[in-house]
Chain A
Amino acid sequence: MKILSVAFLSCLLLAGFARADIAVVVTVDSPLRTVSQNDLINVFMGRYRRLPTGETALPVDLSPLKARFYRALVDKDLAEINSYWARLIFSGQASPPLQMQESDEMLQYIRRNPGALGYLDAAAVPDDVRIVLQLSERQAP
């Protein structure tokens, strides 16, 4: 069923006439109920080390969704994002989010850490994580 839905959604996206949302999620154990897009940018771009609720922020990038996510979040492509981080490696003041390949792996990491923040396709959010922000994708890929 899940796979069907994903395939269906993918088909819709490929057809280019539908838009999917990306959901930003935390573990249900997290005190964070919701987060603004600006706070989310600050966390993911390395500006804030902590979440508004006080936990150390642990943002996670999910590789398959990364391009879509950053397009939705800051309207930039991956090359720009990579160039951004490349500059910061020099000073070492900020570090990029943790990179994950699989959503399951990411979900497990989220469940383990209350400060972790990840993102999923809105259609594939499991019950044991909480959606704190839903990003709408403005453009077709």
Chain B
Amino acid sequence: MIRLARLLRRRLALRSAALTLLAVALLGIASLTGAILVSESRERGRQYERLEELLNTVERTVQIACFLDDKVLAAEVANGLLSNRIVGHVSVIQGSDVLAQGGPTDDRHAGNRPLERAIMSPFVAAEQVCSIELTPDEQEISRSVMRASLFTGIVLTLQLIAIGIVVVLVVLRLIILPITRVSLRLESLAPESGEKLNTPPGNRDDELGRLVGSVNGMIDHLVTSIHDERTLRLQREVDERRFRSIVENVETGIFELSSEGRMLSANPAFRRLFNLDQALDLDVQDLRFAEFVGEEKERVNTMLVQLVNYGRPCNIELKLETGEYPRWVSVLLNRFEDDRLQGVANDVTERQMAAHAAEHMAITDLLTGLGNRRGLMKRLDQSMRIVQSDPGYSCGLVMLDLDKFKQANDTYGHAIGDRVLQHVAKLLTDLVRQADYVSRLGGDEFVVLLEGTTRREAIARILDRFLQRVNEPIRFDPDIEVSISASLGVAILDVNAQSAEEVLQRADSAMYEAKHAGRNCYRFHPSLG
């Protein structure tokens, strides 16, 4: 049973055959039932017709028998009727008497209505002399129905079986076999080589032909897709190798972080930048990016939080090593996908150094190596900012102008003038402390900022010593000796100062006072207490 079910499930032909036969059988049963019903009623009708005919045949004799009350003749008629198989029971009734009757009166005929006919006098038209009742034999009706039905049934069954077989054969021939052939061919098909299905001959324009066409179309499509896919994969492999090579060989550090800041990958350049072992496996070692940056750890962590929470790409410059050889690394971080950060790190030490050098150049007087006007203004701005946040802070500002420098310049030439200026610069530098600031504003004008020194006595002591040294003649060559002097003005930068310019202005006016007073001396601005 199970095997049959499995066979039915696996064989379309068997299934369609079974279904067709089932349908045929059901139809057959229905048709047979219908045929039996129809033939029974037809047979019954025919039996009654034959009874009527029998009655017609004997009517005249019955008329006579009844007319004469002739029981012998009536009985003879009844017997004659009963000799027909279809007649079950006969009775000839005259008024309330039974003139003759025959046949069994049991229940066999209960279902059949008797055929009754009034018998008229043979001579007087309107006079009824008796009546006769014929009851058909039920068994005979059944037999006759059976015979007719059996014949109909056999014919019908044979016809239906023939139809079933024809349907199965047609299904097999027209559908199953071509499908099986196509299916077998499809199993052994090598579509990569461009092989295709052949349309079965005769199915070119029908559904099977279209199916084969569709399959071929699909094969075409698939082959094209596979080819494209393969090309794409090769292209991607090449691209990947290219990018890998770039990443491996580039001098920029490239790395990836998890959103928690864990190192996921790093190229060789990155490892060199951050002193990581090239062989270190980051999948095994749990390393945090923030651990590599030394003192910048806090800034890096803040940046990571910003990046992860708000997705803002950020650029940060990290100073990795302090001391003699600082190293600067610029790191650019981007969020990639949801839980990954991509970063690029560049060594910007040289740039930083160059920037620093340029900045230094900008505030340095090339001739003397002191600060220039720009450097001074920057330093004064710094001091002003300090004063604003720390009212106790102050510093002294000394403005200095060489006396008779122009004559020396004119007399001995620019080269000697320059050397005089360098000499003064050295004197000043030697006099002040490291924290103090010495600058040349231009020409023979110098400004000295004395950090934290505001007391008159302290300033005066420094300036006295300076004047003493500057007055000593300077010998450049055995025959060139230059004597110079200087006038100086002092002002104080403290919490009362409105601006750096104002303090400079005060020092300047104090210096002019010194010049008026005969030069080679110093004066304090009146604002000094």
Q: Is the interface of A mostly helix, strand, loop or mixed?
A: helix
Instruction: List the one stretch of B65-73, B138-146, B366-374, B456-464 in contact with chain A.
Output: B65-73
Q: B124: which A residues are within 8 A, CB to CB? A: 38, 41, 74
Instruction: List the one stretch of A12-20, A27-35, A82-90 in contact with chain B.
Output: A82-90
B123 touches A88 (CB 8 A): no
CB of B122 closer than 8 Å to a CB of A: yes
Q: A138: which B residues are within 8 A, CB to CB? A: none
Interface 0/1 of B64-86, CB less than 8 Å to A: 10011110110010000000000
A76 touches B68 (CB 8 A): no
With A and B bound together, what is the CA distance between A91 and B76 in angstroms? 10
A93 touches B68 (CB 8 A): yes
CB of B39 closer than 8 Å to a CB of A: no
With A and B bound together, what is the CA distance between A46 and B67 in angstroms? 9
CB of A112 closer than 8 Å to a CB of B: no
Q: Which residue of A lies closest to B125 (CB)?
A: A75
Q: B64: which A residues are within 8 A, CB to CB? A: 84, 87-88
Q: A45: which B residues are within 8 A, CB to CB? A: 67-68, 122-123
B68 touches A46 (CB 8 A): yes
Q: Which of B67, B73, B123, B127 contacts A91 (CB 8 A)?
A: B73
With A and B bound together, what is the CA distance between A88 and B480 in angstroms? 204
- A138–chain B nearest beta-carbon distance, Å: 14
B122 touches A91 (CB 8 A): no
With A and B bound together, what is the CA distance between A32 and B514 in angstroms? 210
B73 touches A84 (CB 8 A): no
Q: B70: which A residues are within 8 A, CB to CB? A: 88, 91, 93-94
- B64–chain A nearest beta-carbon distance, Å: 6
A87 touches B67 (CB 8 A): no
With A and B bound together, what is the CA distance between A76 and B70 in angstroms? 21
Q: A73: which B residues are within 8 A, CB to CB? A: 123
Q: B69: which A residues are within 8 A, CB to CB? A: 47
A93 touches B73 (CB 8 A): yes
CB of B61 closer than 8 Å to a CB of A: yes
- A57–chain B nearest beta-carbon distance, Å: 14
Q: Which of A84, A90, A93 contacts B122 (CB 8 A)?
A: A84
Interface 0/1 of A86-103, CB less than 8 Å to B: 011011011000000000
Q: Which residue of B lies closest to A87 (CB)?
A: B64
Q: With A38-B124, A41-B123 given, is the CB distance from A87 to B61 under 8 Å?
A: yes
With A and B bound together, what is the CA distance between A91 and B77 in angstroms? 12
We find that the number of chain A residues with CB closer than 8 angstroms to chain B is 15
With A and B bound together, what is the CA distance between A91 and B64 in angstroms? 12
User: Considering the complex, which residues of chain B in the window 42-73 have a beta carbon less than 8 Å from any beta carbon of chain A?
Assistant: 61, 64, 67-70, 72-73
Q: Which residue of A lies closest to B67 (CB)?
A: A47
With A and B bound together, what is the CA distance between A94 and B64 in angstroms? 11
- B158–chain A nearest beta-carbon distance, Å: 52
A74 touches B73 (CB 8 A): no
- A122–chain B nearest beta-carbon distance, Å: 22
With A and B bound together, what is the CA distance between A139 and B144 in angstroms? 51
- A77–chain B nearest beta-carbon distance, Å: 13
A74 touches B72 (CB 8 A): no
With A and B bound together, what is the CA distance between A41 and B73 in angstroms? 20
Interface 0/1 of A30-63, CB less than 8 Å to B: 0000000010010001110000000000000000
With A and B bound together, what is the CA distance between A47 and B76 in angstroms? 19
Q: A76: which B residues are within 8 A, CB to CB? A: 123
User: Considering the complex, which residues of chain B in the window 448-475 have a beta carbon less than 8 Å from any beta carbon of chain A?
Assistant: none
Q: Which of A41, A46, A93 contacts B72 (CB 8 A)?
A: A93
Q: B127: which A residues are within 8 A, CB to CB? A: 38
Among the interface residues A91, A93, A94, which one has the most CB atoms of the partner chain B within 10 A? A91
A94 touches B123 (CB 8 A): no
With A and B bound together, what is the CA distance between A35 and B21 in angstroms? 83
Q: Which residue of B lies closest to A80 (CB)?
A: B122
With A and B bound together, what is the CA distance between A90 and B75 in angstroms? 13
- A66–chain B nearest beta-carbon distance, Å: 15
Q: B76: which A residues are within 8 A, CB to CB? A: 90-91
Q: B73: which A residues are within 8 A, CB to CB? A: 87-88, 90-91, 93
Interface 0/1 of B311-337, CB less than 8 Å to A: 000000000000000000000000000
Q: Which residue of B lies closest to A74 (CB)?
A: B123
User: Considering the complex, which residues of chain B in the window 117-144 have a beta carbon less than 8 Å from any beta carbon of chain A?
Assistant: 122-124, 127
Interface 0/1 of B171-206, CB less than 8 Å to A: 000000000000000000000000000000000000
- B79–chain A nearest beta-carbon distance, Å: 13
With A and B bound together, what is the CA distance between A88 and B67 in angstroms? 11
Among the interface residues B70, B122, B123, B127, which one has the most CB atoms of the partner chain A within 10 A? B123
Q: A93: which B residues are within 8 A, CB to CB? A: 68, 70, 72-73
With A and B bound together, what is the CA distance between A41 and B123 in angstroms? 8
- A106–chain B nearest beta-carbon distance, Å: 22
- A88–chain B nearest beta-carbon distance, Å: 7
- A82–chain B nearest beta-carbon distance, Å: 13
- A110–chain B nearest beta-carbon distance, Å: 23
With A and B bound together, what is the CA distance between A88 and B122 in angstroms? 14
A-B CB contact pairs (8 Å), 12 listed: A41-B123, A45-B122, A46-B68, A47-B68, A73-B123, A88-B64, A88-B73, A91-B72, A91-B76, A93-B68, A93-B72, A94-B70
A-side residues, CB < 8 A to B, are 38, 41, 45-47, 73-74, 76, 84, 87-88, 90-91, 93-94
B-side residues, CB < 8 A to A, are 61, 64, 67-70, 72-73, 76, 122-124, 127
- Known contacts A45-B68, A47-B69, A94-B68; 12 additional CB pairs below 8 A are A38-B127, A41-B124, A74-B122, A74-B123, A76-B123, A84-B64, A84-B122, A87-B64, A88-B73, A90-B76, A91-B70, A93-B73
Q: Please list the 10 inter-chain residue pairs (A to B) with the smallest Cβ-Cβ separation, ordered nearest first.
A: A74-B123, A91-B72, A93-B70, A91-B73, A41-B123, A94-B68, A91-B70, A47-B68, A87-B64, A93-B68
